[in-house]
Structure 1
Amino acid sequence: MARLYLIRHGRPSATWGGHDDDPGLDETGRTQARAARDWLLSRPEAERPGLVVSSPLRRCRETAEPTAVALGVAMEIDPVVGEIPTPKSLTGAARPEWLRQAFQGTWAAIDGDMDYDAWRTDIVASLARRANTAVFSHYVAINAAVSRLLGVDQVLAFRPDHTSITVLETDGETVRLIEKGAEAATGVL
């Protein structure tokens, strides 16, 4: 089984629900990105990632960049590991409350215009195809994968901190959770 690392982006320069829909990292976030790179590169040779995948959003790309540069690889952008799709009817100020409601329940109970349980299945399927890869993603997408792997329906399976690294294994078809990354308090709830 090959190692797979699921990393939450570093601290962004703007909070969720703020005015900037695609913020980059603040100085702390840039420091966190370098620390994630150093941790990933310190893995034994057989467990070290050789590929870097990122959500299309700027905070993930900026977190992934130091690792991609250090490995000398091009960063692959994968929208599947991006932010949870927000219902089209919601505007910026309504999104935080929608997320708070979603976090209180199950994947099937999320009010929206898509099948969120299918979305988390798609994330795990995307991860299964990746061997020896560092995947930079988001709080909710990481919860989608972890909850699916744990076999729980609650949206909030754990609280990954900024640059928290969750360790997985894959054989190319299935994914197994090895260790959840560091948890922290969050402003989401």
Structure 2
Amino acid sequence: MPRTLIVEADGGSRGNPGPAGYGAVVLDPETGEALAEAAEFLGTATNNVAEYKGLVAGLRAARALDPEARIQVRMDSKLVVEQMSGRWQIKHPDMKPLAAEARAVFPPGQVSYEWIPRAQNKHADRLANEAMDAGRDGKQWEPRNSRAALDTAAAPARSAAARAADEAAEAAEAPEVAEAPAPGWGAPDLGAPATFVLLRHGETALTAQKRFSGSGGTDPELSPAGRRQAEAAGAALAARGTIQAVVSSPLRRCRETAEAVAARLGLEVRLEEGLRETDFGAWEGLTFAEVRERFPDDLDAWLASAAVAPTGGGESFEAVARRVAVARDKLLARHTGRTVLVVTHVTPIKTLVRLALGAPPESLFRMELSAASLSAVAYYADGNASLRLLNDTSHLR
């Protein structure tokens, strides 16, 4: 049975926005022992940003101790607790990427959230103040200089002005509370969802040979077959007439696919760095069989855990999920209620599908995604998502 760890986190801003910092501590629930601490001066930021940064740092510290543990997060920020619990919507563009970072640290369902009074969050509060004090002096917080565990009982209370600023910031977000479902089968009117039409790029020479082709390799161009696939996808999407914007991975095969489709649609292509393919390290350009022959132990470890990176400094699926989630939330904030063509790669598309379904990382190996295939995910204002289409290749026949 997995053990339980408690994460307490806090953030503060002296000015809101102003000099800001966060603190987080991982505790043993049985003994109350502090197992890990984290704190950082953030420069100028709002209180809410600092709170979220503290949450992310605390979750990462807990994961470093035990990635299988059940995590109980305790914070005195009602905003963060309610948003991360799914009871309040997240509309502020600065909050969405941070919430996505927090969700990506542990699998869904492994983390629970609880609001606690400020008086019960003194350890994390003290760490945040230590970080802000260090920043004031032109330094960064160092664990060896921390007295948070010793001085928690005597930690200075925030000023009335600081407390008022915090409460005002949270109150400003309070209208984002998600409405309760209407009685019966009906649901509240959430407006038009943002829909991502996910187009995998057309074939390259490496695609046909089934070789690892990520963001750390040769950046191949589309093959003649891949160009025909891109044209076919463009014709099909133009016939539907629903695409309002085109966003692409910066890698060449995606740019070429996106440009072919965008020309049909009369739209411009916007690049998003977070949509690039996984960096497969030393496996770039190799077939699966060649990787199995040369790096058998590394391959087994990679297949067994999303936290393991390919040989030679590649990128883990866990790291990919974090940046894809951030890119997703940036696009959702920019394209509320619109239909967007997202031209990207196998791993980002599978990751978007996995996150929409709340599926575990191993589901990445259980999806088929053909070159130039279309998938679609709709994102609603209450934070829910709906998979509408997966691996449609009818336009290529």
Residues 178-189 of structure 1 correspond to what in structure 2 (within 5 A)? 178-182=388-392
Q: How many residues align?
A: 178
CA contact (8 A) 2:200 2:370 kept: yes
Instruction: Report the CA distance shift for 1:101/1:32 in structure 2 as closer, same or farther (over 3 A).
Output: farther
* Divergent runs of 4+, >6 A: none
Q: Counterpart of 1:143?
A: 350
Aligned CA RMSD, in angstroms, stands at 3.2
Deviation at 1:32, TM superposition (A): 0.6
After TM superposition, the structure 1 = structure 2 runs for residues 1-189 of structure 1, keeping only pairs within 5 Å, are 1-15=193-207, 16-17=211-212, 21-43=218-240, 45=241, 48-86=242-280, 90=282, 92=284, 97=291, 101=300, 104-110=303-309, 115-116=318-319, 117-129=321-333, 130=335, 131-153=338-360, 154=362, 155-171=364-380, 174=383, 175-182=385-392
Gaps of 5+ in 1: 184-189
| Alpha-carbon distance, 1:157 to partner | 4.3
Normalized per residue, which structure has more helix?
A: 2
- The one-letter amino acid of 2:246's match is V
Once residues 127 and 63 of structure 1 are traced to their aligned partners in structure 2, the CA distance between those partners, rounded to angstroms, is 19
Report the Cα offset of residue 60 of structure 1.
Answer: 0.5
Identify if the C-alpha distance between structure 1 residues 102 and 6 changes in structure 2 by more than 3 Å, giving closer, same or farther.
Answer: farther
Q: CA deviation at 1:92?
A: 4.1
Query: What SS is found at the alignment partner of 2:391?
Result: coil
Q: What TM-score do the two structures reach when normalised by structure 2? A: 0.39
Aligned amino acid, residue 158 of structure 1? M
Q: 1:14 Cα deviation (Å)? A: 3.2
| Letter matched to residue 303 of structure 2 | Q
1:179 alignment partner, SS class: strand
C-alpha displacement of 1:93: 6.0
Give the Cα separation in 1 of the matches to 2:196 and 2:327: 13
Q: What is the rounded CA distance, in whole Å, between the counterparts of 2:381 and 2:276 in structure 1?
A: 21
Letter of the structure 2 residue corresponding to residue 80 of structure 1: G
| Aligned partners of 2:272 and 2:327 also within 8 Å | no
